[in-house]
Structure 1
Amino acid sequence: NTFVTTGLSAIDKANLKPRVCNETALLIEIEKCGDRFQRDMMQVDPHNWCNLTHFIRDYNVFSYCTEWSAEDIGCYWPNPLVENYIIRVHKLFFSNCTVEPILWVDPPDNMLALLILTPVLLTLVMTILVAWYSRRGDILA
């Protein structure tokens, strides 16, 4: 039984230097990602900024760009710096995208009665059928 592992061996890992996050470089790179996203969003009608189907690909590219930039520079992703930048982008483009609360309305009384009585009556009928077949089986045996 050969156990296969992926990644670096313990010897290789021992020779790796710990990566230090260069936050200045990270800010510069995510600004580039944000600039591209902003250019892409300017191509979308502002009335459609709350409809994800109109810009999902652009947002995915933006998200991937921030992730790749952070990892390339040696930073974790997500991290507070990137998260704060993404929040700023959200405030810029999506601050007016509030979802109207759903107002739940009770069904009409006759529908409510039907919804309650149906399972109650089915349970009663099934109980009667089981009892009837059990008794009938005793007679036939």
Structure 2
Amino acid sequence: MFIKQFCPLGTIYEINSILLTSLLQACAYSRSSDMNAFEDILLNNMFLFGCTGHCLIVSPNFWTLMIDLVTDFYEYGWGQSFHFANRFHDETLAESIQRHESYLALKMNLKAGDKVLDLDCDVGGSLRRIAHLTGTHVTDITISDY
């Protein structure tokens, strides 16, 4: 279903279908009725955030499937922490991310026993590390069971 209005979840625009065709073929996700209903749209369109356009309303199962798909690729590239950090010359990406998470823990002035809520935590790697460093209790909430 399409709605012509601002859509906070994302909008769709036409792109070269080869980009998404190769991406979908690379993943061995089981097919569901939700996936079948939107496959043609996904092969020709991509979600863009913060734009005005035709809003695509999808079922929660379909949206979760897409998040799980993207999460697999993010974990392949970044591990459990989905963010970037500046890198020193002799530092690996993983080391720079761990250093950045340690810096965030210091700047948040967290102490043992504090409670932290992480909304849309992806897989929660960053805050798990911060909890380990500081002794805080972390609650992660996300829309995916991933």
- Normalising by the smaller structure, the TM-score range is under 0.3
Q: TM-score, normalization: structure 2?
A: 0.21
Point out the structure with the larger helix share: 1
Q: TM-score, normalization: structure 1?
A: 0.22
With a CA cutoff of 8 Å and minimum separation of 6, indicate the structure with the bigger relative contact order. 1
Of the two, which has the highest radius of gyration? 1
